[in-house]
Structure 1
Amino acid sequence: MSKKIKVTKLHVLCLILFILSVIAIRYAKDIRYAIGDQKPEKQKRPLKAFILSAYFYTTSESLGNNSLALVMSMNIGRNKNEQLNGVDQTKLTVMARNFSAGVVLSANYERITLHDNCQMITVFATLQLLPNPTQIALMTNETQADIPYKIPSYAKRDVVFCISPIYVSELWQSFLTAAHIYKQTLLPCNLGIDLTFLLYHLTLLMLIKKRNFRVWQPPKPIESAKFVALFELNDILVPKVAPTYVEEFESIIGKSEGVAYLSYQRRNFDANVYNSTGFSIQSMLDSLADKNTKQIGKVVVVPKNLNYTWMDRPLHTPDGFVSIDVTQNEITYIENITWIYDEPAVNTDSRAGGLFSNNSKNYKKLYGAAFVDIENELQFILSKEPIAEIVPTLPNFYYFYYLVNKCFEEKYYKFLKSESSNWVKNTCPGPQICGFYQHPKVDCVHVNAQHVYMKEAEPITYYYATSHHYSADIGCYAH
């Protein structure tokens, strides 16, 4: 019996010694860290960056001469406040060579995405390199990734309109209305269109292009423009402060220094549109009904003072610069559109005088007879072959516009417009959050590209795609 008791005491003694040893080792580690050793960091998820655009500016008022501008999508997935404060940020390393020299430089990236809802965040980076480079590459610890950069346009332009192409297939009437208003009010009007436009309508775009519009694929940065307006298809802005856009923007800015962008409010309207063969800008604008409500609007950027933004107001204004909320004019936002399947009654007398009925007195006062030329221009285009054959086959109902718009508004935009956008966790905007069925009469275009294989590297693996093209035979599936 006594022998068993001795064994038990021995076990207890061993257990006590083991616990003391663990505690001693733990304190020894803490002492070692305290006198200068660094604690090992937790293993981080490898960073990956997809290069969306890369432009080299030989001259630039805002970036500096011989500057590289990169827009990338990165899986940083961290709180935007931490990144804005520069916490734990990985730098980009860029190598550039010309015929006589070479440099290796580093730069921070800046956040463009406004919210915290996505793992993939759009970022911007810029740095000055050598003149006349023959090679530009992003460096990693193991290798380098050559950048397929481009040279931007330097043609002098007063105003450039960049229009988001979402819903462009079903909102082709809004697109034509806005495009012709911009073209008539500002000549030459440069209309930036991302050609995710349906292949079904490319012929229509080609004829529009011949009528002095500029169609870009993909949109290029236009620093030589004085102003860049970032609008959607349902946005219509007509100069009210001055006869032209550039004069209005300059008048609003006045003597203010360091203006980065102007913010225009939207006033919401309902409108009727007629079937394909009966469409006219006159009938559409005659039907406008003011809903007496407003919403957050769109921005007009001053490129020399602002290097990047997204389709809404920037995440933050650079130090030393300001923005202006415009009160002298508003964007006409066509919020709801109703299809009318009867032919519109065309009043030839009103075409010669005023284009607007009694239901749109405000617009008659605002727009005046300038739309006589706009209407004539549109009808000329629609009457020419092969457009005359295409127009009757264009969509005459809304399907994805209502479904996707409702989904985005309910699941994303209403939270983004409030100060509590972070309430919506793990909801990244995109077609994957919307549930919808295909429609037999609605085609969709997919953007395809060849992705270049890259071996995983530290601290960032860089990816890019080439040979982008479009296809309309896959169906309307979310990515």
Structure 2
Amino acid sequence: MIPRLPRNIYKTLDLLLLQSFTRFNQISYSKKPQEVRILQYTHTFIHSAYYYPTSKSLGDNAVALVTTMNKRTVWNILDHKINLIGTNQSTKITRQASLSTEHRSFERCDYLLITAQSNMIDNMEKLEIEAKGVLVEIPIKRPIYFAPKPVVFCVSPQFAAEQWQTFLVQLHVSKRYGAHLHLYIVSMVESYFKLIKEYEKLGLVSIEPWLTIKFPITDGPYLEPNRNVELRNQAAAHTDCLLMYKESASFVGILDMDDILIPTANSYYEEFEREYAGDWLISALHYDKYDYKTIKVADLKSQSLSSIVKNAERLPTKDTGKSFLRPERFNST
């Protein structure tokens, strides 16, 4: 997904997509704003909450929440009020969070990715959210301050995944050009998961368990969230990854498993630095994506990266491209 804000310069390059033969229809959205009906009570799902003792872009003692919210909560979802309470050993403070999104509500599904951000208290030990006088504690995570590599690729959540051939191509190409893979997993076949775990032991891959949205009640007037969120809520996982590596990675890429980027330089880092050319007005590089088909093998011993590339055939179709960000310039995707 292409980040929409801030309104800075985007450079466009090329990206390779290796695919199987399953195709999906592209969804078209109307450009005319549609009226959003307001409901009295709606759902919010909190995916993760990060606490930054120090941050280059968010400030000291910053808190960032990754949430999925129903846009019908209020007329303008960004006007919704969320109170956060931070506690350390001696003090408790309350702050109102500012909400932001990279999505336009009239073009999207009912549930949107919303980030909530505020600056809290030194040495915060507990974070709570308040609604109508009820406090709920939120588990907090710390960002990674030392990334395995300067370039991190955030790979979309894997659902019932079984295409281990694509994973091996992505892994070895990314390793060759200097990127670390951070994978979000909902479900996959056991043998595939065991294979990924072996590469995790080598430090080439990080695995992040990822939960689908679940509410105790999804009857009317509510909507079943997983059927009313765009692309199975990939943006939430991408945003979680961006916030995780915000303070440590030089560049963060937003990819699907079958998005294969082969740079023209010796490494991803070298190419991205060249294309940014030290211009801080450029917040992201956007790569166009072209479809290819190739031959896959049935067993691990027969897997050959060179044969996959040699047998790749470009298709006449072109898919939505991908972006590679400076993490300090974005808080969500």
TM beyond 0.5: yes
1:42-53 pair list within 5 angstroms: 44-53=39-48
CA contact (8 A) 1:112 1:124 kept: no
SS at match of 1:233: coil
C-alpha separation between the residues in 2 aligned to 1:50 and 1:168? 22
Q: 1:145 to 1:48 in 2, by over 3 A?
A: same
Q: For residues 48-99 of structure 1, what are the alpha-carbon distances to aligned partners after superposition, in whole Å with 9 as ceiling and x for unaligned?
A: 31111111011111111110000111122379xx638x5xx22111111212
- The answer to whether residue 76 in structure 2 is matched with residue 83 in structure 1 is yes
CA displacement, residues 204-223 of structure 1 (integer Å, 9 cap, x when unaligned):
11211223313232465111
Tell me the SS of whatever aligns to 1:100: coil
Amino acid across the alignment from 2:84:
V
More helix as a share of residues: 1
In the TM superposition, residue 228 of structure 1 has moved relative to its aligned partner by: 0.6
Contact 1:56 1:150 in 2 (8 A): yes
Q: Secondary structure at the match of 1:150?
A: coil
Alignment of 1:170 onto 2:193? no
Structure 2 CA distance, aligned partners of 1:108 and 1:126? 5
Of residues 239, 243, 247, the one that matches 2:263 is 239
- Find out whether 1:139 has 2:130 as its counterpart: yes
Moved over 6 A (4+): none
**SS of the counterpart of 2:253?**
strand
> Is 1:96 matched up with 2:82?
no
CA distance in 1, matches of 2:270, 2:175: 15
In the alignment, the residues of structure 2 paired with residue 152 and residue 77 of structure 1 have an alpha-carbon distance, to the nearest angstrom, of 31
Residues 343-422 of structure 1 aligned to structure 2 (within 5 Å): none
Q: Is the 8 A contact 1:77 1:118 kept in 2?
A: no
Given candidates 248, 257, 272, the residue that maps to 2:271 is 248
How far did 1:285 drift? 0.9
Contact kept in structure 1, 2:68 and 2:111, CA below 8 Å: yes
* Residue 289, structure 1, aligned to residue 313, structure 2: yes
* CA spacing shift, 1:138–1:292, aligned 2, 3 Å: same
SS at match of 1:247: helix
Cα distance in 1 for residues equivalent to 2:122 and 2:98: 21
Instruction: Give the structure 1 partner of residue 195 of structure 2.
Output: 204
* Aligned AA (1:245): Y
Which protein shows a greater Rg?
Answer: 1
| CA RMSD of superposed structures (Å) | 2.4
- Whether the 8 Å contact between 2:155 and 2:255 is mirrored in structure 1 is yes
| The 10-residue stretch of structure 1 (42-51 or 104-113) with the greater mean CA deviation from structure 2 | 42-51
In structure 2, C-alpha distance between the alignment counterparts of 1:193 and 1:114, rounded to whole Å: 27
> Residue 68 of structure 2 contacts residue 114 of structure 2 at CA under 8 Å; is this kept in 1?
yes
**Aligned-partner SS, 1:64:** coil
Extract unaligned runs of 5+ from structure 2.
1-36, 210-239
Residues 329-351 of structure 1: CA distance to partner in whole angstroms, max 9, x if unpaired? xxxxxxxxxxxxxxxxxxxxxxx
* 1:301 maps to amino acid: L
Deviation of 1:177 (Å): 0.5
Match of 1:68 among 45, 56, 63: 63
The structural deviation recorded for 1:112 is: 4.2
Distance between the aligned counterparts of 1:171 and 1:128, measured in 2?
A: 42
Label 1:295 to 1:217 Cα distance change in 2 as closer, same or farther (>3 A): closer
SS in 2 for 1:206: helix
Distance 2:133 2:55 in 1: 32
The counterpart of 2:323, out of the listed 295, 299, 306, is 299
Contact 1:62 1:307 (C-alpha < 8 Å) held by counterparts: no
Q: Distance in 1 between matches of 2:157 and 2:109?
A: 22
For 1:192, which of 182, 189, 202 is the aligned residue? 182
The normalised TM-score by structure 1 is: 0.51
Q: Separation in 1 of the partners of 2:128 and 2:290?
A: 46
SS at match of 2:168: helix
- Asked if structure 2 preserves the Cα contact closer than 8 Å seen for 1:160 and 1:229, the reply is yes
Aligned to 2:49: 54
| Unmatched 5+ stretches in structure 1 | 1-41, 310-479
Contact kept, 8 Å, 1:112 with 1:121, in 2: the verdict is: no
| Counterparts in 2 of 1:119 and 1:292: CA distance versus 1, 3 Å | closer
Measure the CA separation in 1 of the matches of 2:38 and 2:163. 48
Give CA-to-partner distance per residue, 1:403-434, whole Å, 9 cap, x none.
xxxxxxxxxxxxxxxxxxxxxxxxxxxxxxxx
Q: State the number of aligned residues.
A: 260
Is the contact made by 2:42 and 2:72 (CA closer than 8 Å) also made in structure 1? no
| Structure 1 position 168, deviation (Å) | 6.8
What is the identity, as a one-letter code, of the residue corresponding to 2:170?
Answer: A
User: Which SS does the other structure have where 2:206 is aligned?
Assistant: coil
Closer/same/farther in 2, CA of residues 104 and 122 from structure 1, 3 Å limit: same
Once the 2 structures are TM-superposed, how far is the Cα of residue 268 of structure 1 from its aligned partner?
A: 1.8
**Which segment drifts farther, 48-57 or 198-207?**
198-207
Q: Share of identical aligned residues, percent?
A: 27
**TM-score, normalized by length of structure 2?**
0.72
Query: Structure 2 vs 1, CA of residues 265 and 44 (structure 1 numbering), >3 Å: closer, same or farther?
Result: closer
2:98 is matched with 108
- Match runs of 1:425-464 below 5 Å: none
Separation in 1, partners of 2:45, 2:320: 31
Contact 1:273 / 1:283 at 8 angstroms: preserved in 2? Answer: no
Task: Please give the per-residue CA displacement for 1:115-169, whole angstroms capped at 9, x wherever unaligned.
Answer: 6443222210111110111221111222211111111111144100111244673
Query: Quick one: distance in 2 between partners of 1:127 and 1:227?
Result: 24
